[in-house]
């Protein structure tokens, strides 16, 4: 795949001497991973023309962000003057424009259908901008755009060109282009990207930016579906067979995993370190299974179960690379049930077909989805990503017995402190067929080498006093428990509170300041914060560590920082991750748990561990976030802030038990690090103090 630097791009394009679409748009969009465009009016004709050149983006899974101004008619303006809500009037105007699509030529309608598929696949987002005015709505008439490739290069452009049919085909127009890799263009290219990002986030003064109305969104999606059903649009339907992309070469361990699964008659578990390509390996296995079934004239239904929406988006992208657009079962029943029902009904007609269904754990366990599973009589494969999440009793009971092929995926398939749940999953999915650990993955180049820096942080006087009091009370409860008294609930509360004292140790923020200063200009940094607020003696919740980390990194040190938490909606999270991947607008992400699973951040290369639970899965997942391979990435750094107990002689044995679990994490991180000797030397004094050299 080329990048933008390999394309001959002129400083400007002007009607009469150049074809803007053929000479600029199409060649650049063919290598793009993201296309940001702010245009003039939103009309069905404009949308159809805007779709020219972006067919390749559908294939590669590229993302498009489009901002347009509503095409208001005189009655719309009058309605606003009479007091109708501006957003309602704008929504009606946009829906009306799409109803006018029936007057367009077939080729234009096909391009609108492409946009509908891109919206359905979450590759295209549209927002509407207009001027805020006491007299009504003013026109947003700016025309800028950027095209970004896989390496982060981007071209920015601005000029008189509207994305309307008359502008492209009839008007005399000009566009000026700025390339981010050219010294003379770099500042202008970055400025235009910043302007677009501010616009998209609604941070441009005097402009109102609203989400694309749901009614208009549905119309575009329906158009995409209807054109596909009529056979007038070529595209990948969910009943296509998976095919390994020609550009993708499996590693030896991936091939061996697929062969082992087929030899086990389609049952088993892939235990592979985070970042080593579990998804691709699983899809390659389904590809091989599909080839065998097609040879005997059999259809196949593939159900992929994932725990999180973000993970579903990543699977959808990978499936598209394998030539299949899955039916995504998420959100409301009405949004996906008719598609699944119709697709299943079509499996029995004609040539053997394949149906791919992508479902979240929450939807998978619903009665409606379970009834669909029960009715499947053709060969069914269940692929469970992060399979350990299916070990709860409710989800165990949801696992379909009619799935004759089963594949579980996880870096850590054992459920923490749940022997029964782990055994149930093993019985359902089968044996572990491949066990690719972190050491081997780094040695064979599947993961990035890393350095580990433990930073020891003492508790302050107030924290030490609270810690000691909690430890004493924990000791008393443990003694009662040994006498047969039920203290489980209270003991659990105290253990969690004591762990939070360590997790929220105030000295960690001071230590973080020093570490951030040393890496102030570096992009691709993650801060993992303790959950909730700082525990206090009276039981109240104090300051949140994530707020303190954000204030330190963003406000005090001036590093572009953004939270990534449950408070951000799905769309905002996608935008944040897109910005983070460029290494420019956002250089630091601060999170509590939302980056633990299901977020693909291959560019991330520095992680600050302010807190982590004793559950091995969490810290293994967090380490895995920064070990994925990426262009230009040679190594990752993990900075682990370890709170040190006060060292009370009377509580020595209790502290030793607690610190053993903390040290197990530290030693796990240190033993595979490039700087293993240094990391272990930082921990030696504490290991000796608590007689834990055996850890």
pLDDT, position 474: 87
| Cβ-proximal residues to 347 (8 Å cutoff; 6+ apart), any chain | 239, 299, 301, 353, 355, 378
Per residue in 36-82, pLDDT tens?
Answer: 988 766 655 555 555 556 776 776 678 889 888 776 656 665 665 55
Report the helix count and the strand count for the chain, using DSSP H and E.
27, 24
Same domain, 346 and 457: no
> Can you tell me the distance from the alpha carbon of 455 to that of 513, in angstroms, rounded to the nearest whole number?
12
Assigned domain for 239 exists = no
Which tokens hold the place of 654? 């209790």
Same domain, 304 and 376: yes
Contact between 200 and 36 (Cβ < 8 Å): yes
> Can you tell me the distance from the alpha carbon of 567 to that of 102, in angstroms, rounded to the nearest whole number?
41
Assigned domain for 242 exists = no
Same domain, 339 and 487: no
Give residue for tokens 């607020």: 533
Same domain, 389 and 423: yes
- The DSSP symbol for 335 reads G
Same domain, 468 and 396: no
The angle formed by the CA atoms of residues 654, 655 and 658, to the nearest 5 degrees, is 90
Give pLDDT < 50 ranges for the chain: 161-172, 228-238
pTM above 0.85, yes or no: no
> Can you tell me the distance from the alpha carbon of 614 to that of 623, in angstroms, rounded to the nearest whole number?
14
Assigned domain for 518 exists = yes
* Cα–Cα separations (whole angstroms), residue 120 to 340, 345, 423: 15, 22, 38
Angle, in degrees to the nearest 10, between helices 676-689 and 652-671: 170
> Can you tell me the distance from the alpha carbon of 528 to that of 511, in angstroms, rounded to the nearest whole number?
14
Beta bridge partners of 590: 527, 563
Phi, psi angles (nearest 5°) of residue 433: -95, -25
> Can you tell me the distance from the alpha carbon of 66 to that of 360, in angstroms, rounded to the nearest whole number?
28
Which of 443, 461, 480 terminates a domain? The answer is: 443
Assigned domain for 237 exists = no
Phi, psi angles (nearest 5°) of residue 364: -55, -40
Same domain, 428 and 456: no
pLDDT, position 204: 86
pLDDT, position 399: 97
Q: Is 248 helix (H, G, I), strand (E, B) or coil?
A: coil
CATH of the domain at 387: 3.40.50.300
Same domain, 482 and 385: no
Assigned domain for 271 exists = yes
Same domain, 257 and 353: yes
Give residue for tokens 């004094």: 685
Which of 196, 229, 262 terminates a domain? The answer is: 229
Contact between 412 and 596 (Cβ < 8 Å): no
- The DSSP symbol for 564 reads -
Same domain, 154 and 62: yes
Beta bridge partners of 66: 37, 126
Contact between 160 and 104 (Cβ < 8 Å): no
Contact between 607 and 623 (Cβ < 8 Å): yes
Question: Terminal CA-to-CA distance of the chain, rounded, Å?
Answer: 48
> Can you tell me the distance from the alpha carbon of 635 to that of 627, in angstroms, rounded to the nearest whole number?
8
Assigned domain for 240 exists = no
> Can you tell me the distance from the alpha carbon of 613 to that of 617, in angstroms, rounded to the nearest whole number?
9
Same domain, 420 and 501: no
Assigned domain for 158 exists = yes
C-alpha closest to that of 447 among 609, 251, 624, 270: 624
Which tokens hold the place of 94? 């946009």
pLDDT, position 325: 82
Same domain, 357 and 460: no
Q: How would DSSP label each residue in 32-95?
A: EEEEEEEEEEE-HHHHHHHTTT-HHHHHHT-EEEEEEEE---HHHHHHHHTT--HHHHHHHHHH
Which of 406, 427, 443 terminates a domain? The answer is: 443
> Can you tell me the distance from the alpha carbon of 270 to that of 386, in angstroms, rounded to the nearest whole number?
10
> Can you tell me the distance from the alpha carbon of 179 to that of 190, in angstroms, rounded to the nearest whole number?
9
Which tokens hold the place of 627? 């070990």
Q: Strands 432-436 and 267-272, how do they pair? A: parallel
Longest dimension (CA), the chain: 93
CB atoms under 10 Å from CB of 633, counted, come to 16
- The DSSP symbol for 205 reads T
Tally the domains of the chain.
3
Per residue in 573-583, pLDDT tens?
Answer: 777 888 888 88
Assigned domain for 694 exists = no
Beta bridge partners of 606: 525, 637
Round the CA-based radius of gyration of the chain to a whole number and report it.
28
Same domain, 541 and 600: yes
> Can you tell me the distance from the alpha carbon of 512 to that of 535, in angstroms, rounded to the nearest whole number?
20
Q: Is 315 helix (H, G, I), strand (E, B) or coil?
A: helix
Structural domain containing residue 118? 4-229
Angle, in degrees to the nearest 10, between helices 461-482 and 488-503: 160
């Amino acid at each position: 795949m080329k990048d933008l630097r390999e394309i001959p791009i002129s400083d400007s394009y002007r009607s009469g001497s150049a074809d803007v679409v053929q000479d600029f748009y199409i060649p650049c969009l063919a290598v793009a991973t993201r296309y940001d465009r702010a245009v003039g009016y939103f009309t069905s004709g404009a949308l159809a023309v805007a779709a020219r050149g972006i067919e390749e983006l559908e294939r590669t899974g590229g993302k498009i962000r489009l901002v347009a101004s509503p095409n208001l008619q005189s009655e719309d303006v009058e309605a606003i003057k009479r007091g109708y809500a501006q957003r309602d009037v704008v929504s009606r105007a946009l829906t009306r424009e799409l109803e006018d699509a029936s007057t367009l030529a077939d080729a234009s309608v096909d391009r609108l259908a492409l946009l509908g598929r891109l919206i359905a696949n979450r590759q295209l987002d549209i927002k509407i901008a207009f001027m805020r005015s006491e007299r009504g709505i003013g026109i947003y008439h700016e025309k800028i755009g950027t095209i970004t490739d896989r390496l982060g290069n981007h071209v920015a452009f601005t000029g008189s060109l509207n994305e309307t049919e008359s502008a492209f085909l009839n008007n005399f127009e000009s566009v000026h282009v700025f390339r981010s890799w050219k010294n003379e263009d770099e500042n202008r290219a970055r400025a235009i990207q910043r302007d677009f990002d501010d616009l998209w986030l609604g941070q441009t003064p005097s402009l109102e930016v609203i989400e694309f109305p749901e009614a208009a969104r549905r119309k575009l999606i329906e158009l995409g579906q209807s054109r596909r059903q009529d056979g007038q649009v070529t595209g990948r339907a969910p009943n296509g067979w998976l095919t390994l992309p020609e550009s993708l070469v499996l590693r030896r361990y991936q091939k061996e995993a697929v062969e082992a699964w087929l030899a086990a008659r389609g049952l088993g578990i892939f235990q592979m370190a985070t970042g080593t390509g579990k998804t691709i390996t699983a899809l390659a296995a389904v590809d091989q299974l599909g080839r065998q079934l097609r040879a005997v004239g059999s259809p196949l239904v593939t159900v992929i179960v994932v725990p999180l929406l973000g993970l579903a988006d990543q699977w959808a992208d990978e499936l598209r690379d394998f030539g299949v657009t899955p039916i995504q079962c998420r959100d409301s029943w009405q949004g996906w049930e008719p598609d699944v029902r119709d697709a299943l009904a079509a499996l029995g007609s004609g040539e053997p077909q394949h149906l791919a269904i992508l479902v979240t754990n929450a939807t998978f366990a619903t009665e409606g989805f379970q009834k669909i599973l029960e009715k499947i009589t053709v060969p069914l494969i269940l692929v469970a990503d992060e399979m350990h999440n299916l070990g709860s009793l409710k989800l165990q009971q949801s696992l379909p017995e009619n799935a004759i092929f089963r594949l579980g995926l996880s870096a850590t398939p054992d459920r923490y402190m749940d022997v029964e749940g782990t055994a149930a999953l093993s019985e359902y999915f089968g044996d572990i067929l491949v066990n690719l650990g972190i050491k081997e993955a780094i040695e064979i180049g599947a993961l990035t080498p890393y350095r580990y820096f433990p930073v020891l942080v003492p508790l302050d006087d107030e924290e030490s006093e609270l810690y000691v009091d909690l430890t004493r009370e924990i000791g008393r409860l443990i003694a009662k428990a040994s006498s047969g008294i039920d203290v489980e609930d209270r003991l659990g509360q105290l253990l969690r509170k004591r762990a939070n004292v360590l997790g929220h140790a105030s000295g960690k923020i001071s230590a973080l300041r020093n570490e951030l200063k040393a890496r102030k200009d570096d992009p691709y940094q993650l801060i993992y914060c303790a959950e909730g607020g700082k525990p206090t003696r009276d039981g109240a919740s104090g300051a949140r560590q994530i707020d303190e980390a954000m204030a330190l990194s963003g406000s005090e040190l001036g590093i572009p920082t953004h939270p990534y938490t449950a408070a951000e909606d799905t769309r905002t999270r996608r935008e944040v991750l897109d910005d983070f991947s460029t290494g420019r607008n956002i250089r630091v992400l601060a999170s509590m748990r939302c980056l633990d699973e299901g977020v693909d951040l291959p560019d991330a290369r520095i992680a600050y561990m302010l807190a982590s639970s004793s559950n091995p899965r969490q810290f293994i997942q967090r380490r895995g976030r920064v070990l994925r391979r990426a262009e230009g990435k040679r190594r990752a750094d993990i900075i682990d802030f370890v709170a040190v107990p006060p060292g009370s002689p009377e509580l020595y044995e209790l502290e030793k038990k607690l610190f053993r679990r903390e040290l197990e994490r530290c030693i796990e991180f240190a033993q595979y690090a490039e700087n293993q000797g240094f990391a272990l030397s930082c921990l030696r004094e504490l290991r000796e103090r608590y007689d834990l050299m055996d850890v």
